[in-house]
Amino acid sequence: MSKKITLIGGGVLGVQIGLMCAYTGHDTTFWLRSEGSIGRTQPKIDLYSEWMLSDLEAAKQLIGNPMGKFLYAKGLIKDWDGITAEAIDDLIAAAKENFAKLIHIELDMAKAVEDADFVIEAMAEDPAQKIDIYKQLKDLLPEKTILLTNSSTLLPSMFAEYTGRPEKYCALHFANTIWKNNTGEVMGHPGTDPEVFKKTVELAVEINMIPLELHKEQPGYILNSMLVPFLSAAQGLWARGVADPATIDLTWELATGAPKGPFKILDIVGLETAYNINLMKPETKVEGSDSWMISKLLKEKIDKGETGVNAGKGFYDYK
Ligand SMILES: NC(=O)c1ccc[n+]([C@@H]2O[C@H](COP(=O)([O-])OP(=O)(O)OC[C@H]3O[C@@H](n4cnc5c(N)ncnc54)[C@H](O)[C@@H]3O)[C@@H](O)[C@H]2O)c1
């Protein structure tokens, strides 16, 4: 059944989540904090919706190809077996209609969350700012609303007390490029109502994600418990001058058969997010340490506007 879903934050992930909500037929509102934020979010909505539509177009070429079932965008096409070009054309037409009709941008927080079934917090990875927003949301959310966080590195139990609805709060964590990499890690805190957890799993399915249930809180969930140390190790090699990003990527890709090395992944994640994650390590304050050097180098790139795929340049040039 169609739901009303509100996104808090219109950055890399907020936009992708919102687009998947609209794609699957849900009324989707982005709450943004200023007119300036609209100027930054609207181009992302345009860019990611284009990419989703072009991935649907590209899927038509994969029909009949034995590799097709591994390569198609799994969040966009629920069932690959027996798919036809006509069915994909129908999906493209429905997507265009849904994007035009179901996506709203709202600066007034009260209006944005009015009647929301789910509010998904996808704002910057900054604990103090998240707490501030939860405190603002607390008295505005309708009784029925389930509040979710997409935080990559922070635990729901750090924030539950500020939400005013700890039992209706848990994490639904997405992986970047969610229309292709459609994981939905569901993680409660000790006070999450099991019924709320179940409804969150159901929502993940309704927006074409594959729900992955965690039985207990784990910093970094399943994915980032593996990915963050891997990306840190790669950045350490770069920061110590052991090898350049392209060589590090090539080593990983050749040796493991993985399609992307760590710096290609970092460009997709976005260098600001990588920078914020690195800042949370205590050793980042220690001058000369690996993390300190990584921060310095990432900051130099961010200051030049080289923040990743979104900006057209990161470790690689996408223009
Ligand atoms: N980038 C990734 O690969 C990725 C993957 C999974 C989860 N996440 C998580 O998703 C969340 C958002 O990450 P992102 O990559 O989209 O970041 P981003 O920097 O692209 O976007 C952050 C958004 O938050 C908004 N924002 C920042 N401070 C705010 C405030 N005080 N009030 C209101 N809005 C505010 C910004 O305007 C922006 O729209 C983070 O918690 C991150 O850990 C990111």
Question: pLDDT category, 319, cuts 50, 70, 90?
Answer: confident
Q: How far is the CA of 15 from the centre of ligand 1 (A)?
A: 10
Q: How far is the CA of 152 from the centre of ligand 1 (A)?
A: 10
Q: Which of 38, 273, 309 to mutate to test the pocket of ligand 1 (most atoms within 8 A of CB)?
A: 273
pLDDT at position 236 is 97
Question: pLDDT category, 73, cuts 50, 70, 90?
Answer: very high
9 lies in the same domain as 86: yes
Tens of pLDDT, residues 18-29: 999 999 999 999
In the chain, pLDDT over 90 holds for what percent of residues? 92
pLDDT at position 187 is 98
Number of domains in the chain: 2
Q: How many CB atoms lie within 10 A of CB 94?
A: 13
CA distance 144 to 155: 23
183 lies in the same domain as 205: yes
Domain harbouring 275, CATH code: 1.10.1040.10
193 lies in the same domain as 166: yes
Least confident of 64-73, 183-192, 206-215, 241-250: 64-73
Q: In the 8-state DSSP scheme, what is residue 310?
A: G
Answer yes or no: is pLDDT of 67 > 90.
Answer: no
39 lies in the same domain as 62: yes
Sign for the CA dihedral angle at 279, 253, 182, 217 comes to negative
Q: Model-level pTM?
A: 0.84
* Ligand 1 atom 20, closest CA: 11
204 lies in the same domain as 256: no
pLDDT at position 81 is 93
Tens of pLDDT, residues 288-318: 999 999 999 999 999 999 999 988 999 999 9
Kindly list the strands in the beta sheet with 4-8, ordered across the sheet, starting from the edge strand earlier in the chain: 103-106, 27-31, 4-8, 118-121, 146-149, 169-174, 183-187, 210-213
Domain harbouring 185, CATH code: 3.40.50.720
Q: Is residue 319 part of a domain?
A: no
pLDDT at position 48 is 97
Q: Are 184 and 209 in contact (CB under 8 A)?
A: yes
Q: Is residue 314 part of a domain?
A: no
Q: Is residue 196 part of a domain?
A: yes
CA distance 4 to 22: 10
pLDDT at position 113 is 98
44 lies in the same domain as 166: yes
Q: Which of 48, 123, 179 to mutate to test the pocket of ligand 1 (most atoms within 8 A of CB)?
A: 123
pLDDT at position 153 is 84
Q: Is residue 219 part of a domain?
A: no
Q: Which of 152, 182, 230, 278 to mutate to test the pocket of ligand 1 (most atoms within 8 A of CB)?
A: 152
Closest by Cα among 213, 172, 197, 134 to 14: 172
Tens of pLDDT, residues 78-90: 999 999 999 999 9
Overall average pLDDT of the 65-74 stretch: 90
Q: Are 130 and 159 in contact (CB under 8 A)?
A: yes
162 lies in the same domain as 300: no
> Of 171, 187, 213, which residue sits at a domain end?
213
Phi, psi dihedrals of residue 197, rounded to the nearest 5°: -60, -45
pLDDT at position 10 is 96
Tens of pLDDT, residues 107-152: 999 999 999 999 999 999 999 999 999 999 999 999 999 999 999 8
74 lies in the same domain as 170: yes
Q: Could you list the residue range(s) of the whole structural domain that residue 258 is in?
A: 224-309
Q: Which residues line ligand 1 (CB under 6 A)?
A: 9-14, 33, 37, 122-125, 129, 133, 150-152, 173-174, 176, 269-270, 272-273
Q: How many CB atoms lie within 10 A of CB 304?
A: 10
Q: Is residue 111 part of a domain?
A: yes
Q: Is residue 56 part of a domain?
A: yes
Residue bearing tokens 């910057």: 124
Q: What is the mean pLDDT of the chain?
A: 96
Q: Is residue 184 part of a domain?
A: yes
Structure tokens at 257: 């058969």
Question: pLDDT category, 280, cuts 50, 70, 90?
Answer: confident
Answer yes or no: is pLDDT of 1 > 90.
Answer: no
In the chain, pLDDT over 70 holds for what percent of residues? 100
pLDDT at position 57 is 97
33 lies in the same domain as 138: yes
Answer yes or no: is pLDDT of 91 > 90.
Answer: yes
Answer yes or no: is pLDDT of 70 > 90.
Answer: no
E strand or H helix that includes residue 285: none
> Of 174, 190, 213, which residue sits at a domain end?
213
Q: Hey, what amino acid is at 21?
A: C
> Of 187, 213, 239, which residue sits at a domain end?
213
